[in-house]
Amino acid sequence: MYLRMVEATVKIDGDELLGEIYSDKILTALENTPGCIFAALLHSREQNRKYISLTLWQSEMHAYNYEISGEYQKNKEKVQDFLESGSEWKIQLSKDNTVEYLPVPAEPIIKSYPVEKSAESLPEEIPATSSCLRILSLKINTGYKKEFIRIYNNDILPELKKVEGCLYAFLLDNSDSSGEMISLSIWDHAEAVDQYETTGPYKVFLEKIDHTLGGLYQWKMALASRSATKSAVTSQDIEVSKFTLITGKKFT
């Protein structure tokens, strides 16, 4: 499987209709696109105007064909009016030789990842407007990728799927470009995620893979263990992003 995320910032007055347009037009188009398994519109819990269109594909080739066929461009045009313009401006001469200042539209950010091994089938029903998607980004130390994947698949993933509220979880491999591995999970409501992080087994899971994480993260943890008053921010810190599922659909 292959995962594709398109990230965009929405205008202040454009987010109310975005979910309706996505549900009526984008999901309908993707349902008829070869190789598309699942699609959903997600709203960031941390950044109010940030949205992500997430799609799962049978293979990287299916996702690639979707983009080069022009179908992605057609779908983007359906929501273009809702997207924020960029901070860049284009200066040009008009036909009557006066200067025009035109805003340059901000292009959505596309991120694509292969799914590590095979992921189990998505649940038949994922409740929209209440479900939560959690993205955990981890920077892996050089030479520890295989060990990290083994621990995640054998020790963490089976137990994570047993956690109350967790509907679906799998691992994404972005290590070739930035040494990053991503754990993606879908939950039936945001409160289940919060409970998992505060009183659930999240800390235990983290301890299992702690030794495989980057050197800067190891240094930060060592610093924290020596002093309760000292802390540091590094480029290898664990990043957690959470999104509310606005609308989504699994395709047969």
Confidence (pLDDT) at 168: 86
- The least confident of 57-66, 69-78, 115-124, 178-187 is 115-124
Q: Mark which of 69, 84, 114 sits at the end of a domain.
A: 114
| Domain endpoint, select from 59, 84, 114 | 114
Instruction: Evaluate if residue 54 carries a pLDDT over 80.
Output: yes
Q: How many domains is the chain partitioned into structurally?
A: 2
Q: Token pair 């992003």 is at which residue?
A: 241
Residue ranges with strand state E in the chain? 2-9, 36-44, 50-57, 85-93, 99-105, 109-114, 132-139, 166-174, 180-187, 239-250
pLDDT at residue 105 above 60?
no
Q: Within this chain, do residues 125 and 238 fall inside the same structural domain, yes or no?
A: yes
What is the average per-residue pLDDT within 107-124?
66
Q: Could you tell me if 49 and 12 are in contact, meaning their C-beta atoms sit under 8 angstroms apart? A: yes
Q: Judge whether residue 151 has pLDDT over 70.
A: yes
Assess whether 251 and 129 both reside in one domain: yes
Residues 27 and 63 in one domain: yes
Q: What is the DSSP string of 148-217?
A: HHHHIIIIIHHHHTTSTTEEEEEEEEEHHHHSEEEEEEEES-HHHHHHHHHTSTHHHHHHHHGGGB-HHH
* Mean pLDDT, residues 178-183 taken together: 78
d(CA 193, CA 134): 8
Instruction: Please tell me whether residues 12 and 101 are part of one structural domain.
Output: yes
Closest Cα to residue 40, out of 190, 182, 245? 245
**Alpha-carbon gap, residue 18 to 21, rounded angstroms:** 5
Average pLDDT over residues 127-140: 80
pLDDT tens by residue, 185-228: 888 888 898 899 888 888 888 888 888 876 433 333 343 343 34
Same domain membership, residue 249 and residue 135: yes
Instruction: Please give the pLDDT value at position 29.
Output: 94
What CATH number corresponds to the domain at position 202?
3.30.70.100
Lowest mean pLDDT among 54-63, 113-122, 154-163: 113-122
What's the rounded Cα separation, in Å, for the pair 133 and 246?
11
Q: For residues 52 and 243, is the Cβ–Cβ distance under 8 A?
A: yes
Question: Span 73-95, mean pLDDT?
Answer: 67
Answer for the pair 7, 108: CB distance below 8 angstroms, yes or no.
Answer: yes
Task: Look at residue 91 and tell me whether its pLDDT is greater than 50.
Answer: no
CB 127 within 8 A of CB 192: no
> Rounded to the nearest 5°, which phi and psi values hold at 95?
-65, -30
Q: Which pLDDT value is given to residue 92?
A: 47
Same domain, 70 and 192: no
**pTM summary value:** 0.74
Instruction: For residue 105, give both structure tokens.
Output: 């539209």
Q: How would residue 14 be classed by pLDDT, with cut points 50, 70 and 90?
A: low
